[in-house]
Structures are given as C-alpha cells and as structure tokens.
Amino acid sequence: MATSDSQNYPSPVRNASRHGVSVLAAVAIAVSAIALFKPAADASSVAQATPTPTAVVDLVSVITSLDEFKAIDQQIRADGQRKSEEIERLDEEIQGLGEDIQGLDPNSDAFDELFRELNMKRGFRELRASMLIRWQSEDNARVLTELYEKALGAVEVVAERDGWQLVIHTGQRAAVPRNPNVRAEQAMDFVEDWIQSRRVIYSSDAIDITESVIQHMNNRYATGG
C-alpha cells in the first residue's frame, strides 16, 4: 500500500504555523519582561512635581525700613557732620595761613617758616580727609553687613513660621532706567547688565513676606532682641 507524502513528511504550512506561534510567544515573553523590569519613573515624577511653597522678599526694603537702621543712620549722619566740621576748621586754618604769608617778604625766615607750616597743614588736611572718608565707608559697610545677616535670620524664622520652603530675593525695579548715569558708549552694557541682574520678573503680593520680616525684626529690636 502506497504511503502518502503527507504522512511521511511534515507539512511546510504546518511547520510555518508552528514557527509563527513560537515567535509570537517569544515576543510576548520579552514584552512582559520589559514591562516587569521597567523602572517605576512615573510615580516618582509625580512626587517631584509637587509645587514648592515659594515666597519673595525685598531685602533692601527690609533693611532700610528697620527701626534699628534708622537709629544707626542718625548716628552715622551725626558722626559725618562732626567729621565735616573738623575738615572745615582745617580749611579755615589753611586759609588764615595763606592770608598771613601774603604780607611777608619771600626772602625772609618768617616766610619760609610759615610756608612750611602751610604745606604741612595742607598735607595733614588731605590725609585726614581721606582717612575720615575711609573710616566712614568701613563703618557703613560693617553696619550694613550686620543688618543684612540679621535680615537673613529673620527671613528664615518667618519662612519656617509661615510654611514657606523657598524664599527668593527681589526688589530691583523691572523697568530699565531711561536715563542711566553712564557714558554713551557704556549704555548698551548697562542695559544688558540690568537685564541679567533680574532674578524675579513677576511675583504676586500674596507671596511677598517683606512686611512680615520688617515687623518681626522691629518687634525684636523694640524688646532688645
């Protein structure tokens, strides 16, 4: 009895079908494995996107509005007035020596002596004026630094008290000055520097804690804190 070819040899169609099933199974397993071991980035991304409570503060306004600053400013002005009066007295003495020397014979010993005194007085006046200006500038910088450090501490206290997690310094006006006090060739650089210095373009008054910081610091100053 003759044997059919279909009984002795595998059917090409059947083999192709079985091969296709095997390939699909392998692909399904691979896809499942990828899904199983894929990092769970979505959940963490949602957590990182949680808004951070952010506030702004104008530290310049804080410092210049403090009762302590106003008291110190009065002291500085009074001290500056005393220094100005000292220089004015030296100017009067120099003027008097200059008038006295006019009536002397340039070839006399009295003229030489007064001329040396006049030059010494002028030199002392210039040195004294430069030193007073330097000391005044150093004192002003020291006071400003101390108040700035106090303001930073007050910002931290107010932020923690009111639930702010991030506080950004603002204060510089957004508009560029129309007539900056610079030379014409520096005008473009001035505008570029002004724009680059901006850190906050807009902020709502609802997140401005400047007044809260001022009140906190003034209360501490009033109680000797």
More confident residue, 140 or 17: 140
How far is the C-alpha of 66 from the C-alpha of 219, rounded, in Å?
10
pLDDT at 31: 47
Say which residues have a Cβ less than 8 Å from residue 191's Cβ, sequence separation at least 6: 176, 180
pLDDT interval class at 224 (50, 70, 90): confident
pLDDT at 199: 77
pTM: 0.65
pLDDT at 13: 44
Please count the residues of the chain. 225
Helix (H, G, I), strand (E, B) or coil at 57: strand
pLDDT at 146: 94
Residues facing 208 on adjacent strands: 56
How far is the C-alpha of 160 from the C-alpha of 211, rounded, in Å?
16
Say which residues have a Cβ less than 8 Å from residue 72's Cβ, sequence separation at least 6: 143, 147
Please compute, for residue 221, the number of CA atoms within 13 A of its CA located in the half-sphere on the CB side: 19
pLDDT at 192: 82
Q: How many Å is the maximal CA-CA distance in the chain?
A: 160
Structure tokens, 184: 């014409």
pLDDT digits (tens, 9 = 90+) for 66-104: 999 999 999 989 999 999 999 999 999 999 999 999 989
Q: Number of helices and strands (H, E) in the chain?
A: 8, 2
Mean pLDDT of 108-123: 94
pLDDT digits (tens, 9 = 90+) for 48-63: 668 899 999 999 999 9
Q: Residue 10: what are its φ and ψ, rounded to 5°?
A: -65, 145
Inter-axis angle of helices 67-102 and 210-222, to 10 degrees? 80
